[in-house]
Chains A and B, each alone.
Chain A
Amino acid sequence: MSRKGTSSFIIQRASAVLLIPLAIWLLINIVAHIGADYASARAWLEAPFNGLLLGAFLIIGAWHMRIGMMEIIADYIYSSLKGALLFINWLVALGVIAAVAWSIYHISFAG
């Protein structure tokens, strides 16, 4: 992760700015959908923009989370575990992005 400091700094802030409206939107929708059953949750997700906004929150958030967790690992882990944890951190971010993108493609475009 060396020599990526400046780009990580910029991406972390750019993603933060994008996540502000998305997080507000998510908090409002958590209010409206706590404990929703399958049919009503599915109807909500299939409505225009809901899937895209949830997908955008999770995908942009995955990248924001990866950088944040990378900083935490870099600050506290000095052992040989560090490389493995950074690798797992990448896998988690890429896994979330793949699963979310596939879900949103399926529900918003292919479904």
Chain B
Amino acid sequence: MAEGATSERPLSPHLQIWRFTVTMAASITHRGTGAVIYGGSLLLAVWLYALTFSPSLFEVVSGFVNSPIGFIIIAGYVWALSFHLMNGLRHLYWDSGRGLAPKTAAMTAWLVYTASILLTVFILWSGYAARGAA
């Protein structure tokens, strides 16, 4: 390596020179939703621990979950889990060596975005409707 030749190169993954594609967006979203589920599952574990051992802690957690911020967190968790689940199926399909053609991968990426949003709306709508009726 010639000296100085390494200094001005963009660092991988070259975000500044990539053209936007839906497959790239789905890849980034898979990581992002994974991180969201990481945080949300910690909250779910605290909820479980409180439900098991401490009614007073459960009231605190429950009050937080039922607040407007809690709604955003639940909606975000449900969508993140829906997306990561469906895109995870896409990844497992790729691991079998299929579905890797650019047109197929782009089509399944759009499918995962659309289906995960529809599933999230359905889950939240039916969940909050049932709560209103109870």
Contacts and interface: CB of A to CB of B under 8 A. Distances in A.
B92 A13 contact: yes
B45 interface: yes
B58 A100 contact: no
Contacts of B126: 31
Contact of A26 (B35, B81, B128): B81
Given A27-B123, A103-B49, A103-B52, A16 B74 contact: no
Interface residues on B, range: 35 or more
A30 B78 contact: yes
A38 B128 contact: no
A37 B51 CA distance: 10
Interface of B: 31, 34-35, 37-38, 41-42, 44-45, 48-49, 51-53, 55, 58-59, 62, 65-66, 74, 77-78, 81-82, 85, 88-89, 91-92, 95, 119, 123-124, 126-128, 130-131
